[in-house]
Each structure stands twice: as C-alpha cells, then as structure tokens.
Amino acid sequence: MDRIVVVGGGLAGGRTVVELREQGFSGAITLVGAEEHRPYDRPPLSKAVLSGRTDDTTLPFDLDGVELLLGRHATGLRPGVLETDGGPIEFDGLVLATGAAPVRLPGSADQRVLRTIDDARALRETLRPGARLVVVGAGWIGAEVATHAAAHEVAVTVVEAGASPLLALGPVVGGHTVPWYAAAGIDLRLGAAVAQIRSDGVELAGGEFLPADAVVVGVGVRPDVSWLESSGLQLDRGVVVDEWMSAVPGADAGGAGGYRPGSVVGAGDCTAWWSRRYERRMRVEHWECAQESPRVAVATLLRTLAGGQPSSESPDDIYNPVPYFWSQQFGRMIQFAGLPGPDSTLVLRGDPTAVAPPGAKKAPGWSAGWFAPDGRLVALATVARPLDMVAGRRMLLADAAPDVAKFSDLDIALKEL
Ligand code: FAD
C-alpha cells in the first residue's frame, strides 16, 4: 500500500488530504504539521479573531483515517524519507505544503507578527482600549491590524517605508487609501524607515521614538523552506515546482537527484510555480493558491504513483491561474486579480476621492484596471465593487481587451463590456 506524507498542516496541507481522498487515493496518509492545531483558516485571524467575533477558525476537513502528527517539524528530506524532529518517515509520495513565515526585523524579540491563531489570540489581549500600537508596514496585514485596533480605541501609528500603503497595488491605487488612515484616527508615517525595534517602542531612522505597548511587524512573508536546503530540491524563495506542481531537483543534484519525477509535489504559499500564462515563476502567498493548487499537485502525484508521467497536456492538469487576493480594511472590501506589467497603463473606474452622498452610509466604490499596450486588461483592483471583480476576473481569464472609455464609466456594468 502506498504511503503519502503531507508536510504542513495549513490550508494547502488540509486541502491536499481532501483531494487525495476525492481523487481516489485509498492508501495511507500522514499529515505532519508544526503547529499543534488541526488545519485552520488564516484570513479570519485579522478579520474576526482579533475582534473576538470568533475564536476558532478550524477548517471543516474530514481527516478521518489520516495519521495526524501535530507539533511535529520536518527537518530534512532525502529520496523516500522525510526527516522530522520525531524521527524519519518513509514515503512513496510527498506533498510539500509548509507555507510561509513572517519576516521579522532586527531588534527586540518582543516584536509581534500575525501568522498563527496563537499570534492572533495573544495580540487580542494586548489591543485593549487605551493601548498604544505601532504597526510596521502598511501592507495587507498591517492595514487589517490597524483597522481592527483603531476601531477598538487603540492609539495606532503605522510606519511605512514606502511612499504609500499597499505598494503591491502601486503608488496611485495605494495612495488613494491614505485618507482612510486619517479618517480612522491613525497616525500614518510614510517614507519612514525603522532604525530599531525596542521592547517599549520603535525608533525611526531620523531619531524619533514612537512609544508602544505592542509593535506588530507586517512587512511580508518568506516561504518556509529553509528545512529543505540540503534536500537536493531546487529552492528559489520557495520550492521550485513546474506547472504540474512537481518539485524540480537542483542542478547540482544530478539528474533527478534520486527523486522519482512527480513523486514530490508542492502546494500553497511555500511554492514558486511556473506559470504558462505569464511565462515566469510565480510566488503568490494568497489563500486561493493554497485552496486550488492541491488539486493539481495531487493529480500529478497520483498519476506518477500509478506509473504514468508527471506531465500532462490536459488544461485541468496544469496550474495556470490568474492570481487573486482580497482584504477587508477600514470598512471596505478590496479585491485584486491579475498581474500588472511594467508597461501597463492604469485606468480608474469611478472616483476614489468621492464621499458618501447625503443619506448614504458609504461612499461609492471604485476600481482600477491595468491595461497592456495591446489593450488587454491584465490586472484589476476593486474597492467595494465585488461585481466588477466577478466580471473582471472573467475578462482576465479570457485575455479580453475591453473598451477603455467604457471601462472607466461607472454607469456601464463591466459584464456588459
Ligand atoms: P500556511 O497557512 O502557512 O500553512 C503552512 C503550515 O505548515 C503551518 O501550519 C506551518 O506551521 C507548517 N510548517 C511550516 N514549516 C513546517 C515544517 N518544517 N514541518 C511541519 N510543518 C511546518 N489571503 C488572501 O487571499 N486573502 C486574505 O484576506 C488573507 N488574509 C490573511 C490574514 C492573515 C492574518 C494571514 C496570516 C494570512 C492571510 N492570507 C490571506 C494568506 C493566506 O491565509 C495564506 O495564503 C494561506 O494560509 C496559505 O496556506 P498554506 O497552507 O500554503 O500555508
């Protein structure tokens, strides 16, 4: 009987187990997870656990019959054997799903991050009314933590090294979120470099000291793959996998490095996958990648274990998404899909500076599209306009080239273009 070992007990690891059963694997499955928790969902940590709206985000995966090794760390890998801090585990097939870990800044060990449910519960205890919080980084996590804290009477300062928040969306779109901070009573410091994080606050490069009861660092994540350094697999800020999510042996490993091609696959945040759509390697630390990529990884693994080729030209067997992400901040739902290029032109749809009309609770939403020189829509950001995103994602998948004048007209539904 074949044994498949899944390393990493997050969304991608849990989804992998579900896919293994749904795709007909009846052999033994072992799930090795460093956290003591069963797979749980991370987006609600900043959106609902911090506020106390929920305390449990466990995912409803059926793990019956799965050997669960929780609180167990994978420490190394060689062909057919996973090394862990509880001893070696042999496998016929292996799924790498160890996710990503937050980047920490030099300085005090007291700096906090928000990645795990334990981080969220501990932070919730600190963010009491009257507390002082400094958030380093006005990216997705920083903005969501600041949103929560400001709404709970915490005095919040956000320190961002760049010229605007949400730099992933570029300075124009990110810049339109600046007033949201002031409206929430947050002191936003743009272009501010951190010199040192201390246990009692943050020292800025210019010498100013920002006292704090808690410092949360939200400056991005790095795929959690350092434990694979001597595995012979190729690493490049993530486990290098091909379009079938099959791990690629390193050049110095010689041949397949002893690994049967297709017998080690990756899924979720820990992977750097080859995109046929964009003809480049992608690293997308987003929920949807962890949700969807296990289907392809498992199909590849099961094809291989059945004696077939890891590669397959069926479009269903290739992981080829348009990346998608959402965030909730300052009472707004932001969604983003696609990949802007350096030569893209930004077109706004609606007025980001518009205020709520009399009698209305909220300002109308707005969107922003990035257009390639040949007229194709290549990326879309929406603020409180979910229907734009539904239609826009279809356009992105279809490589559509909507009329720009009509795109910018809020009175014309995107689905009509
Ligand atoms: P992870 O969820 O990181 O799971 C990996 C697991 O592997 C972890 O439990 C880790 O402890 C374990 N592990 C690591 N190393 C080892 C090892 N050596 N041995 C054994 N186990 C190991 N995405 C969105 O698209 N929208 C959102 O709104 C959004 N909000 C978010 C809010 C927060 C607070 C956070 C933290 C993330 C958010 N994300 C969001 C990102 C999304 O949650 C991740 O992309 C997703 O969780 C990735 O799943 P994963 O299984 O690949 O990795």
Which pLDDT tens digit goes with each residue over 17-39? 999 999 999 999 999 999 999 99
Handedness of CA 166, 59, 101, 22 (dihedral sign): negative
Task: Please tell me whether residues 152 and 9 are part of one structural domain.
Answer: no
- Tracing tokens 């009692």 back to the chain, one arrives at 200
8 Å CB contact between 156 and 187: yes
Q: Is residue 322 part of a domain?
A: no
- Angle between helix 11-22 and helix 287-305 axes, rounded to 10 deg: 40
Strands across the sheet with 264-266, in order? 67-70, 28-33, 3-7, 93-96, 264-266
Q: Are residues 201 and 240 located together in one domain of the fold? A: no
14 inside domain = yes
Same domain, 142 and 291: no
Q: Report the separation in Å between the CA atom of 9 and the middle of ligand 1, taken as the mean of its atom positions.
A: 9
| 284 CA → ligand 1 middle, Å | 11
Q: Are residues 305 and 369 in the same domain?
A: no
How many structural domains compose the chain? 3
- Same structural domain for residues 226 and 91? yes
Residue having the nearest C-alpha atom to atom 1 of ligand 1: 99
Q: Evaluate whether residue 44 is within a structural domain.
A: yes
242 and 281 together in one domain:
yes
Percent of all residues in the chain with a pLDDT value above 70, rounded to a whole number: 98
Mean pLDDT confidence for 195-200: 92
Report the pLDDT averaged over residues 337-342. Answer: 96
Out of 282, 317, 352, a domain closes at 317
Assigned domain for 165 exists:
yes
CA of 165 to the centre of ligand 1 (A): 22
CB-neighbour burial class of residue 2 (10 A; exposed 0-12, middle 13-18, buried 19+): middle
CA dist list (Å): 112 to 54, 115, 177, 181, 198: 21, 10, 24, 21, 12
Q: Are residues 344 and 406 in the same domain?
A: yes
Q: Is residue 324 part of a domain?
A: no
240 and 299 fall within a common domain = yes
Q: What is the CATH number of the domain that holds 171?
A: 3.50.50.60
Last residue of a domain, which of 197, 217, 237?
Answer: 217
Residue bearing the CA closest to ligand 1, atom 27: 43
Are 94 and 240 found together in one domain? yes
Query: Is the confidence at residue 372, as pLDDT, over 70?
Result: yes
107 assigned to some structural domain:
no
Q: Are residues 27 and 172 in the same domain?
A: no
d(CA 81, CA 158): 45
User: What's the pLDDT band for 67 if we cut at 50, 70, 90?
Assistant: very high
What are the angstrom distances between the C-alpha of 337 and each of 349, 352, 377, 386?
15, 18, 11, 12
Q: Could you read off the pLDDT of 108-159 as tens digits, one per residue? A: 778 999 999 999 999 999 999 999 999 999 999 999 999 999 999 999 999 9
Does 377 lie in the same domain as 298?
no
Q: Name all residues whose Cβ lies below 6 A of ligand 1.
A: 7-13, 32-35, 42-43, 45-46, 73-74, 97-100, 114-115, 141, 224, 227, 268-269, 285-288, 290, 325-327
Domain co-membership, 19 together with 71? yes
Contact 60, 38 (CB under 8 A): no
Q: Tell which atom from ligand 1 comes closest to the C-alpha of 35.
A: 11
144: phi then psi, degrees, rounded to nearest 5: -70, -40
46 pLDDT more than 90: yes
pLDDT tens string 167-182: 999 999 999 999 999 9
271-282 tens-digit pLDDT: 999 999 999 999
**Rounded average pLDDT over 407-413:** 95
Residue type, 282: M
Instruction: Tell which atom from ligand 1 comes closest to the C-alpha of 288.
Output: 25
User: In terms of residue numbers, what domain contains 176?
Assistant: 117-217
Distance separating alpha carbons of residues 28 and 91, to the nearest angstrom:
10
Q: What is the CATH number of the domain that holds 341?
A: 3.30.390.30
Quick one: CA torsion of 220, 325, 317, 371, rounded to 10 degrees?
-110
Task: Categorize the per-residue pLDDT at 255 as very low, low, confident or very high, splitting at 50, 70 and 90.
Answer: low
Query: Measuring CA to CA, which residue among 160, 132, 153 is closest to residue 51?
Result: 153
- Average pLDDT estimate for 217-236: 96
* Cβ within 8 Å of residue 296, ≥6 positions away: 244, 245, 317, 318, 319
Q: How far is the CA of 323 from the centre of ligand 1 (A)?
A: 16
Looking at residue 252, its pLDDT comes to 62
Compute the average pLDDT of residues 273-299.
97
Of 46-50, 225-229, 340-344, 353-357, which range is least confident? 353-357
Q: Is the pLDDT assigned to residue 270 strictly greater than 80?
A: yes
Residue 252 lies in a domain: yes
> Between these two residues, 283 and 359, which has the higher pLDDT value?
283
> Which among 192, 217, 242 is the end of a domain?
217
| Best residue for ligand 1 mutational test, from 224, 229, 231 (most atoms within 8 Å of Cβ) | 224
